Every structure is written in C-alpha cells, then in structure tokens.
Chain A
Amino acid sequence: MIEIKNLHKSYHMGKNSLHVLKGINFTVAEGEMVSIMGSSGSGKSTLLNILGILDEADEGSYTLDGTLIKNLNEKVAARYRNKFLGFIFQSFNLINYKSALDNVSMPLYYQGVKRNIRTEKAMHYLEKVGLADWASHLPSELSGGQKQRVAIARALASDPKVLLADEPTGALDTKTSYEVMELIQGINDEGKTILIVTHEDDIAHMTKRIVNLKDGLIIDDSIVNQVRAKTESYV
C-alpha cells in the first residue's frame, strides 16, 4: 500500500539547513495498523506530512497504492489527498460553523458527489462512529471525544485507502482516548490501512506494529501484540 525508499527531507531556514529525514525505507501493507513513535524533532510529523502529500520529499521515492507521488501540482495533490487519504488531527480541525453532518460530507463535496447522496453517505459514517443523534450539532456543542469521532467519520467519508492520524488522542483524556482507539481499531478490523503518529506508549501498543524514529532515521521497526482498547470488539 505504502512504499517509501531512501527518503530525505531538509528544511532551509536562511543559511541554516536542517536535515530532518536522513534516508527512510519503509513499507506498509494493506490492512496494517502502524504507529510511528519518536521524540519531538525525530522527524515523525515530517514523515506523516510527506505520506499525507502535504509536503514533498527532497530525495527518494514514495509510492501510494501503486501511484508514484512526485512533482505534483496543487490540483493533482488535492485530488490524490481526496481519493487516497483520510486525515485525523490532534486538534480535530472541524469547521466550527458547520454541523457534524456537514463536516463529514465535506470530502464528498470536494469529490463532486450530489447533495442527497452526500448527506446519505455522511449520515452512514456518523452512525458508524455512533453520533447519528448529533448530526445537526455544531462542533462547539460536542465533547472532545465526540469531535474526534466526527473527524474520524469525515476521514472515512471519502473511503480512502489510508487513514493518517496525527496524535489522534493528544487532546483527550485517557478514557476518551481509549474509546477513540477502540473505534480506530474497529475500522482497522474492517481492513482499512491506518498510520498513527503518537508519543504515547499505551496508544502505540494498541496498533499492530511500532516504528521508532530517532534523528531522522528508523531505529526500530517491530510487530507488537495488539492491545485491544476494550475487550468487546466495536462495530
């Protein structure tokens, strides 16, 4: 599903240049659930941005679902993001003047899906995250966990190949974090490929594989025993 080879990325600030990624080789198969760990400055966010086609590598290749991602213009990048990827952010990034339902249907709007079909699909995903009753509420009327679940529904709405989550539980308390992780695990159980950037050990252990980054290099990449967020599986 994801294949990156010898990825390099530097940031230039004036005369100084900061070499963030120093040759990353990394493959993710379909249906995997991978967490990327590392201290701040290790390059994990940069890696996620490149994977999310929000940023481009200086060197090396990135293939997503058989498509080489290189030298894309804004238009094509936007289309690929819409088609291949779903984003989950630490701070949810819902549009605060739109209802939960409208937030979820937004990726479909950018796909050019008709309004009634869009609403129907969005409603389906809201049901999936257990928030059907909150469809008409604004983000400000929802709790943190609910917001993140709306964001997850939004990420799923365009039926992407890969879900990219940047510290999805960073702004949530432990109980809510686990509920959200339970939901994400459930989605993975259905076969969706998921990448999570986190620095919390317990969250990382709820995935199936942990990749450890340090100073722009992968220092450890190991399969772990997945800890279920709750014993009963979430459907």
Chain B
Amino acid sequence: MFNIERWQEIFEAIRKNKLRTFLTGLSVASGIFILVILLAIGQGMSNGVAKEFEKDATNRISVWTNVTSEEYKGLNPGRIIEMDNRDYEMAVNKNRDKLEYKSGVYSRWGQLTTYKKENGSYRVEGVRGDYQFLENATLVAGRYINQGDLNNFEKVTIIGNQVYLDLFKEGNAIGEYVDIAGIKFKVVGIYSDPGGEREETRLFIPLTTAQRVFNAGDKLRSLAFTLEKQDNYEDALAASEAFSAGLETDLKIAHTISPTDDRAVNVNNTLENAKKFYDLNNMIRWFFWGVGICTIIAGVVGVSNIMLIIVKERTKEIGVRKAIGAQPWSIIGMILHESIFVTAVAGFVGLIFSMLLLQFVGPFIETDYIRNPSVNFSVAITTVIILVVAGAVAGFFPAYRAANIKPIEALRDE
C-alpha cells in the first residue's frame, strides 16, 4: 500500500492512458453522483413529509361530519349530520383515561377582522385550551384559552403570527381589541405554528363564546383528540386505530347513520396517514438505493473492462516480471491497487460534486414534498465503503487473469 514503486507504476499506467482512465473514472464518478443525489432526494422527501405532519400533533385524530350517502332506517340519504356538545362529552366520558388532549371545535371561515385601519378575512375557531397542543402551536406572546374563558364566555382571542403581522405591523397587540364579525375581542396571545403561514392566518376564541356569538347553540364542526403516549409506535398505532373505529361507530349510532356509510362521519387518523407516507417513503428510498447501486455496478463493469484491457496490454510486461521473479501475489496486488485507486479517486470526485451541489442548491429546494435534500455522514461513509469494495470487485477478475498469465506464453507473445 505504501510502496513507492507501486504508486509510481500506477501513475505511469494512468499517465499513459489519460483519456481512457478519465472516461472510466467518469462512469464511476457519475454513478456515485447519481447515488448520492437519489439518496438526498429520498431524504428530502422524508423531510418534506415530516414537515407536512409537523403542523399538527403527530398522533392527532380529527372528526368531522358531512351529509349521509346511504338510506338508513327509513331516513333518506343527503341528510346533513351535525355534531354537538353531547357527542364530544360522550367521546370524552367513554375514553376518559385514554385521552391526552381533547377539544370540540366550532369554526367559521372568512370572518372580517379589523384593527384600527387594518383589516383581513380570517378563519375563526372556537376551541378549548387543549387545542394549542392539538395544533402543535407555540405561543409567541401572551397566553392561550383557559377554562375561565370558557366558563365566562370571555371575548378574548389568540391570533396567529401572520394575523399579527397583517394587523399590528409588529406593534403591541396584547391587550388591544380587534373587531371580529362586528364584535370586539381582546387579544390575549399570539401563536406560531410549524404548518406555516396557512396555519397562522387564524384566530382562536373560546368555544363557548364562539357558539354564542355565531348563534350556533351547542353545535360543533369537528372534534380533535390525541391519545396518551404509548411505549412504542406499533402500540400507539393500534390504540389510535381502535379509538378511531370505536368513535366512528358511536357517532353513527348516535346520529342514526348506516354502519356502511363512509361519507357522513370522517375520522382522520394522522398517525395512520403518517405511517402510509413513511412506508411509501421507505419504499422509494430502497428503490433509489437500488437504482444508485445499479448505476455504480455499470461503472464498476467499466473499470473492470478497462483493467482487463490493461492486463491484456501488459501481458508481456507481466510475463517479464514473472520471469525475473515476481510472485503471483505481487501482480494481483498491482492490478487491484490500480483498480481501487481509480475507482476511489473517481468516486470521491463524484461524492464531492454531489455534496457541493446539495450544499449549495439543496437548501433552496422547498416544494411541498421535497425539502432540503441532503445526505448524512453515515450515508457518505457507506458510499465510500461501497467505492472501495467496488474497486476491489472491479479489479479482481483482471487481477486473477493477470496472475494466471504464464510467463512462457506472455514472452512468446511478440
């Protein structure tokens, strides 16, 4: 390995065949380049999906209702189903020890909201205190809704960061009054949400207040729950699926809906959705590995081919070396060494180029499903190992052939 003569020989062989070595190297370099880029895109897709699920609590279960699609017990399809406080209480009472956070929601779209001369149209949601955690929201300033607000029908509101920027232009908001649908609400908090702008253009008010000011009685638009944490993912998924199914059945019975009607009651289980996405992601990632490895194999075959030609060209030289006392192993070492060297150098070039590309371009990629494609250190290390192994594999057959050259035949080859 640290034998000067052998290094000299390798450089000599490379210098004699610059173009050929360059083209071979190119195939390996592009193989590694493609592998790394593919892996990075796989990572980017994971990041994107993770981001997508970050905007709400990852184990959130949401319930909303629609119109019935099936005739049931003499009732026509097309009946509008609306939930109310009794549905919420039934769900809570039945699962008291399983639930972590819970809230009923009464929301209205496009409510004109005014502060001094600024105004905007936002979604207003009446919720309970737990909703902060269900939404995965963080308070930037002030407080969230509390039980006192609910009990006293307080006209207070927690505004999204984007709403704050729209209406208050960085000025003080806490304690100020905004006008929502003609009613004055006191701003008591500002929140931010990992879901970004779309999730931050909302105002939250106490559920009881919302039902009263929007004249909704005890109606609810949706329910949101999270379950207590489980020790592992499988248990959590099972618990959340059982809860979702149970809740759906209960609601269907309470509202006289056909058990087979899949439009009237919708239970959306984030955990289950996440699992689907992560499974898909994993599959895509394995596929990318497969494609990348195949590309490298193509490169390796190229190197192997070139090394075979080199062995062929140097048959006579190898014969001479053997005649003057070269051991078979030293010939094998010579060919393997060159092959590994060419593969490794070319591979590193591909690795560095792809890393540079990811470094400078990666952070700018922020579509919905691909976000900051990058590779981590262990992937880089893996590709380096792949490179060395690939070089050794590429060199093995040519080296084996070289070692089997009979000096007498090589010398006759004039």
A interface residue numbers (CB < 8 A to B): 49, 52, 54-55, 74-75, 78-79, 81-83, 86-87, 89, 91, 93, 95, 97, 106-107, 109-111, 115, 154, 158
CA distance A79 to B319 in the complex (A): 14
Contact present for B411 and A78 (CB under 8 Å) = no
Mask: chain B, 320-348; 1 = CB below 8 Å from A; 0 = not: 11111111111000000000000000000
Give the top 8 A-B pairs by smallest Cβ distance, nearest first.
Answer: A82-B325, A54-B408, A110-B325, A93-B320, A107-B324, A97-B12, A74-B328, A78-B327
Contacts of A75 in B (CB 8 A): 327-329
Chain A nearest CB, measured from B400 CB (Å) = 13
CA distance A106 to B320 in the complex (A): 10
Q: Which of B321, B329, B403 has the most CB of A within 10 A?
A: B321
Does B407 count as interface, using CB distance less than 8 angstroms? Answer: yes
CA distance A149 to B372 in the complex (A): 67
Contacts of B403 in A (CB 8 A): 74
Does B316 count as interface, using CB distance less than 8 angstroms? Answer: yes
Contacts of B176 in A (CB 8 A): none
Q: Is the interface of A mostly helix, strand, loop or mixed?
A: helix
CA distance A223 to B322 in the complex (A): 33
Q: Which of B16, B323, B325, B406 has the most CB of A within 10 A?
A: B325
Chain B nearest CB, measured from A10 CB (Å) = 15
Contacts of B323 in A (CB 8 A): 52, 54, 81, 87, 93
CA distance A95 to B411 in the complex (A): 13
CA distance A52 to B324 in the complex (A): 10
Contact present for B324 and A154 (CB under 8 Å) = yes
Chain B nearest CB, measured from A153 CB (Å) = 12
Chain B nearest CB, measured from A57 CB (Å) = 13
Partner of A91, one of B325, B330, B414: B414
28 A-B contact pairs sorted by A residue (CB < 8 Å) = A54-B323, A54-B407, A54-B408, A55-B408, A74-B328, A75-B327, A75-B328, A81-B323, A81-B324, A81-B325, A82-B324, A82-B325, A83-B325, A86-B324, A87-B323, A87-B324, A89-B320, A89-B411, A93-B316, A93-B323, A93-B411, A95-B317, A106-B321, A107-B325, A110-B326, A110-B327, A115-B4, A158-B324
Contacts of B411 in A (CB 8 A): 54, 89, 93
CA distance A78 to B319 in the complex (A): 11
Contacts of A95 in B (CB 8 A): 317, 320-321
Residue of A nearest to B325 (CB): A82
- State whether A54 and B326 are in contact (beta carbons under 8 Å apart), knowing that A91-B414, A95-B320 are contacts in the complex: no
Contact present for A78 and B16 (CB under 8 Å) = no
Contact present for A79 and B325 (CB under 8 Å) = yes
Residue of B nearest to A49 (CB): B408
> Given A86-B324, A87-B323, A111-B325, 8 more contacts at CB 8 Å?
A55-B408, A75-B328, A75-B329, A83-B325, A95-B321, A97-B12, A154-B324, A158-B325
Contacts of B328 in A (CB 8 A): 74-75, 78
CA distance A75 to B316 in the complex (A): 19
Mask: chain B, 397-414; 1 = CB below 8 Å from A; 0 = not: 000000100111001001
Residue of B nearest to A157 (CB): B324
Contacts of B407 in A (CB 8 A): 54
B residues 1-43 near A (Cβ < 8 Å) are 4-5, 12, 16
Contact present for A97 and B16 (CB under 8 Å) = yes
